Amino acid sequence: MKTSPARTAAFEILMRVETTDAYASELLNSSRFSRLSTADHGLVTELVMGVLRWCSVLDNAFAKHINKPLTKLDPEVLVALRLGSYQLSFLDRIPRHAAINESVELVKRSGKTSAAGMVNAVLRKLMKLHFRPPAEVAHPEWMVKRWSDNFSAAAAQKICEYDQHPPQPAFHTDDSALVTELAEDAIELEPGKLLKSSFVLRSGDLPRTAAFRDHRLGVQDEASQLVAILVGTGTTILDCCAAPGGKTRILAEQNPKTNIVAIELHPRRAALLKKLVSESNVQVLSADVRAMPLNRQFDRILVDAPCSGTGTLARNPEIKWRLKAEDLSRLEAYQLEILGSAMKHAAMGGRIVYSTCSLEPEENQQVIEKALTDNPAFHVIDARSRLLELQSNGELAWKDIDSLITGPYLRTIPGVHPCDGFFAAILECK
Ligand SMILES: C[S@@+](CC[C@H](N)C(=O)[O-])C[C@H]1O[C@@H](n2cnc3c(N)ncnc32)[C@H](O)[C@@H]1O
């Protein structure tokens, strides 16, 4: 029996996510799946992201019909059960027989023929869910509890709800000709909610446009755009932790005459950054920021640190199943090392923007507090003053500045704001 290209691709991606540290969004956007038709690519995205968003709900639904713990199942069997049960429980337009038979076929093709009968029997017992489970149950309890304690119960609920839906793609541009070109390519846009130069996709196939293919636009969440804009203008700029380069691109747009050094640890990601951001004023280096390959000072530095990514679960849902609470202290120590190294390269009067897409205080204010104790030459600049500046020069479209501020920091919260959860602190070297 044949399996559809969409289910075959979804199975392959979910297997990679289950058995390696790959991210579904990167695989979905990779060249391997770029030849799928628009409709098939849409279905693969729906299947992969749906399974990852609702994974715990799906596992609970079929675990009842299996007489051994799910941890004892082969990953191929587990993934086929998730793929089948997501279609049966959550999607209206998929015929039952296609969801069941193709999952059985995918198990057989992966070499687990002996489990095919069990997969068939279990999926036949599953019914469509006649209610949408609360978004909180599709998140680890410890994570929801933290958000409830650190923000509020209402905010935690909003975060969970936001995480369960595909975020609308956004991009940043000051180029009105590009917007006209996209309109001619049947791309319907709406204005960004946070920023004046941001656009949000209403309808159309953005990845298939010439502008997207030629890297003249990069899809980037509005909160991530805002962080890059916080950096402002400088005569020398260092972008630590730069790939894939969404923020580097905005720094380059806003500082066309400034030499920008963009550093990225992984050579493959540095090469991708070079490809995506080809502006001649950007110099890309592949290096570890903790052993800085430069002996210079900069007046603007961006440290967009590697982090848990709990502010991006709508686009990276696998993070919620991979992350453990105990990972946070390891991340904090790493972030502190990176920030400490960047601080050595700030010129007198220079500024550092430290940011993460994490909702966790360990990776955010705690890193800043410790870094300031270790480096008393720095102090925090109130992010409110910078946001007011951006509001008065028309760059910030969002009216309620208070809601974007926690203490002296920028703090966006998914669902509370229409974007990913980003933290940013502005530090100045006295
Ligand atoms: C949050 S991502 C940066 C996103 C990027 N600023 C953007 O807007 O597109 C963090 C990046 O830091 C890189 N990284 C991790 N450790 C690093 C280190 N020690 N030195 C330099 N880069 C590092 C990771 O490979 C990853 O690409």
Query: Which residues are bridge partners to 410 per DSSP?
Result: 405, 424
Q: Is the CB of 317 under 6 A from ligand 1?
A: no
Tokens of 397: 């479209």
Question: What's residue 2's pLDDT?
Answer: 85
Question: What's residue 338's pLDDT?
Answer: 98
Mark whether 429 is an active-site residue: no
Q: Is the CB of 247 under 6 A from ligand 1?
A: yes
Q: What is the set of domains in the chain, with CATH numbers?
A: 5-125 (1.10.940.10), 170-213 (no CATH), 222-429 (3.40.50.150)
DSSP string of 257-319, one letter each residue: TSEEEEEESSHHHHHHHHHH---TTEEEEE--GGG-S----EEEEEEE-----GGGTTT-TTH
Q: Is the CB of 268 under 6 A from ligand 1?
A: no
Question: What's residue 44's pLDDT?
Answer: 97
C-beta of residue 97 within 8 angstroms of C-beta of residue 59: no
Closest residue CA from atom 12 of ligand 1: 241
What's the gap in Å between 340 CA and the centre of ligand 1?
Answer: 15
Left if phi > 0, otherwise alpha if psi is -120 to 50, otherwise beta: which for 176?
A: alpha
Q: Is the CB of 304 under 6 A from ligand 1?
A: yes
Element containing residue 100 per DSSP (H, E): helix 96-109
Cα separation, 375 vs 378, in Å, equals: 6
**Three-state secondary structure call for residue 378:** strand
> Which ligand 1 atom lies nearest to the CA of residue 224?
8
> Which ligand 1 atom lies nearest to the CA of residue 357?
1
Q: Is the CB of 232 under 6 A from ligand 1?
A: no
Q: Which of 240, 241, 307, 357 is catalytic?
A: 357
What's the gap in Å between 160 CA and the centre of ligand 1?
Answer: 26
C-beta of residue 397 within 8 angstroms of C-beta of residue 296: no
Question: What's residue 128's pLDDT?
Answer: 76
Query: Mean pLDDT of successive 10-residue segments in the chain (430 residues)?
Result: 93 98 95 91 97 97 95 97 96 92 97 97 87 93 98 98 97 96 97 98 92 94 98 97 97 96 97 94 98 95 98 98 98 98 97 98 98 98 98 97 98 98 97
Q: Which of 334, 357, 352, 345 is closest to 419 using CA atoms? A: 357
240, 241, 273: residue to mutate for ligand 1 pocket, most atoms within 8 A of CB: 241
